[in-house]
Amino acid sequence: MNAKNPVTSAHSAPVALAEALATFDDLWSPRIVTRVNDYDVRVAKVAGDHVWHAHDRTDEFFLVLDGELRISLREDGAERTVTLPRGSVFTVPQGVEHRPSAPSGATILLFEPTGTLSVGDRHDEIPDHVDATTGHVLNA
């Protein structure tokens, strides 16, 4: 295993996302399945509400693998919610305060710069069910 980049060296073969997701049960606790240049590709199981937060220096990309994800956004003095069914993608622009939620549960794929904190640079109080992390290496 390459000590400089354990994710890339551990996953030099294809990664089956369903198999990767089957290796953990933690909610709002993304696993890094691979890296592309300086970006992590992360998968997560989600249910309930995340925390209101913003990433000041990067956009955040979401792909819904299964279920439905809602993302509430606060921008231009107003609040709105986008609903993402299975197979949908959405990018939250940098600096926009947002709160993902999945009332019935979902699985998602995220694409963001390596080292990006899951609760952003600015956030509300972090509830116990949300993991404040830069992503965990997948132990597949």
pLDDT tens column, 19-73: 999 999 999 999 999 999 999 999 999 999 999 999 999 999 999 999 999 999 9
Q: How are beta strands 69-75 and 97-113 bridged, if at all?
A: antiparallel
Instruction: Please report, for residues 23, 25, 92, 129, the alpha-carbon distance to residue 47 in angstroms, rounded to integers and kept in the order given.
Output: 17, 11, 19, 9
pLDDT tens column, 83-121: 999 999 999 999 999 999 999 999 999 999 999 999 999
Residue 47 lies in a domain: yes
Q: Supply the pLDDT for residue 138.
A: 86
Q: Supply the pLDDT for residue 56.
A: 96
Residue 59 lies in a domain: yes
Residue 1 lies in a domain: no
Domain tally, the chain:
1
The whole domain housing 13 covers 6-137
Q: Are 44 and 108 in contact (CB under 8 A)?
A: yes
CATH of the domain at 11: 2.60.120.10
